[in-house]
Chain A
Amino acid sequence: GENVEQHPSTLSVQEGDSAVIKCTYSDSASNYFPWYKQELGKRPQLIIDIRSNVGEKKDQRIAVTLNKTAKHFSLHITETQPEDSAVYFCAAAPPGGSYIPTFGRGTSLIVHP
């Protein structure tokens, strides 16, 4: 089955700095890669996703890049703000009618004011 590795487990940055979280996956058949943000005690919320037919996607301060050959994808947050502090999860999902994502272990992002 799919295996998703996520690094780092903890990331501490100063407000205004950029943050990068990296994930690798093992199943070359995976073609959908969402990123979720989870605040303490709350549900994960999708913040951005990318499919394997594109290499990069951007939404304001958030961007995701995908390297299919190397089987890794990354989340980039620019101009970080304290409200960006949360746990971020990457996931990889295979094609097909049933979406069963495999999640990374999560990255706890702390943005210091």
Chain B
Amino acid sequence: GAVVSQHPSRVICKSGTSVKIECRSLDFQATTMFWYRQFPKQSLMLMATSNEGSKATYEQGVEKDKFLINHASLTLSTLTVTSAHPEDSSFYICSAPRGTAEAFFGQGTRLTVV
């Protein structure tokens, strides 16, 4: 079946530094990918929609300069958390839909900012 791979699975960084998270669709092309943030015991909150070859679409309340998204190819989208702060610590997860059917999720990235 379709697989979406996300890296890294865990990252610890210092306040003020930037962290890049990669999301790859391994056996299908994804013109669109989604980035979610998930707090403990809470649902998946859509942060932005990553569009191959064009600018990402951000949800209301999500700072585009804080969470930089690049969708450089049909199989890769990256999320960069810039100038990270402890409040950015969370579980970030990407997904890629295959056509109009199910969306496949990456493994998720546990970000801890110290």
Contacts and interface: CB of A to CB of B under 8 A. Distances in A.
A29 interface: no
Interface in B75-114: 91, 93, 97, 99-108, 110
A89 B100 CA distance: 19
A108 B101 contact: no
Nearest to A105: B43
Interface size for chain B: under 10, 10 to 19, 20 to 34, or 35 or more residues? 20 to 34
A43 B44 CA distance: 11
B3 to A, nearest CB: 11
Nearest to A104: B43
Contacts of B34: 100
B25 interface: no
Interface residues of A, number: 25
A96 B99 CA distance: 9
A95 interface: yes
A34 B102 contact: yes
Contacts of B97: 98-99
B46 interface: yes
**Most-contacted residue by chain B among A34, A36, A44, A89 (CB, 10 A):** A44
B107 A42 contact: yes
Interface string B48-67: 01000000000000000000
Given A99-B32, A100-B34, A108-B41, 5 more contacts: A42-B107, A43-B105, A44-B44, A98-B97, A99-B97
The 6 closest A-B pairs by CB, nearest first: A99-B97, A43-B105, A105-B43, A46-B102, A103-B44, A106-B43
Interface of A: 32, 34, 36, 41-46, 49, 87, 89, 95-106, 108
25 contacts: A32-B100, A36-B105, A41-B108, A41-B110, A43-B93, A43-B105, A43-B108, A45-B105, A46-B102, A46-B103, A46-B104, A89-B43, A89-B44, A96-B100, A97-B100, A98-B32, A98-B49, A99-B99, A99-B100, A99-B101, A100-B46, A102-B46, A106-B42, A106-B43, A108-B41
Interface of B: 32, 34, 41-44, 46, 49, 91, 93, 97, 99-108, 110
